[in-house]
Amino acid sequence: MYPILLEFGFLKIFTYGLLVATGFLVAILFASSRAKEEGLDPQKILDLCFYVMVSALVGARLLYVIVEYRYFLNDPLEVFKFWKGGLVFYGGLILGVLTSLWYLQRHQMPLWKTADLLAPSIALGQSIGRWGCLFAGCCYGKKTDATWGVTFTDSRSLAPLEVSLHPAQIYLSLNALFIFIFLMWLSKRKLFDGQILWSYGILYSIGRFLIEYFRGDDRGFPIEQVFSTSQFVGVFIFILSVFMLLMLYRKKSRIYPS
């Protein structure tokens, strides 16, 4: 693939960083464009998205560094070169959620309605950003004989070279795109605030859990060779999402009995 899109002397434009940034920008603009129809202030949504973007990058990089700490012990400065590849979504999700809670409380914005607005945008941004993983070669798949396998040849790629691999990055992108489409469909039919966010949590955790079995990169195993870090976190996200959906539905039913 093409880890470096353009190169002018010492100036390099990394494809990964460009596509991740594009994903963030599209997600922010999409959320802002929908804010007014949801009864929310577009400017506050823009400000919230900025804080979430920064915190999500920090959280995603931090979790990656924790998982791959052996590599960074040899070259600590590599910690700051996130544009070359190396972000863990769940790390960004956790810190992004904490930042969102702080912002929403500070500005007295409705929690679940705002979360429902942002959830489809997150999935859309993911779908775009995962192509950056493909070009950089990170998050690569296991060896495969499938006709749709991809082969990396650029020596600067993070993936093994000259061997056919599952395009796990494309699987992740398509998974996020499917979630985005479904959440937009559900948004027009939701029964209560919070339904979109926690539906996203269920769908993403299931999709990510399954796709992890096609991954071939070293990403840490809390339970050695059984669950990867993302699968381990995903189990908790799934349980929490189901619990919150049931709780919010019952709360709505008590307030508005049929």
Average pLDDT value for the chain = 87
In the chain, where the domains are located: 1-121, 137-258
The pLDDT, as a whole number, for residue 34 is 94
Q: Is the pLDDT of residue 27 over 70?
A: yes
Percent residues over pLDDT 70 in the chain: 91
**Mean predicted confidence (pLDDT) in 6-34:** 86
**Bridge partners of residue 253, in order along the sequence:** none
Q: What is the DSSP letter of 193?
A: T
Average pLDDT over residues 106-125: 94
Statement: residue 123 has pLDDT above 90: yes
Instruction: Specify the 3-state DSSP secondary structure of 163.
Output: coil
pLDDT for res 255? 63
Confidence at 64, pLDDT banded by 50, 70, 90: confident
Query: 30-34, 95-99, 182-186, 220-224: which range is least confident on average?
Result: 220-224
Q: Which percentage of the chain shows pLDDT scores above 90? A: 57
Band of residue 60 on the pLDDT scale cut at 50, 70, 90: confident
Q: What is the pLDDT of residue 141?
A: 94
Residue 128 has pLDDT above 60, yes or no: yes
Axis-axis angle for helices 195-211, 111-136 (nearest 10):
20
pLDDT digits (tens, 9 = 90+) for 154-182: 888 888 999 999 999 999 999 999 999 99
147-214-178-103 Cα dihedral, nearest 10 degrees: -150
Distance, CA of 84 to CA of 17 (rounded, Å): 7
pLDDT per position as a tens digit, 175-209 = 999 999 999 999 999 999 999 999 999 999 999 99
Transcribe 23-41 into DSSP letters.
HHHHHHHHHHHHHGGGT--
87-91, 108-112, 160-164: least confident range? 87-91
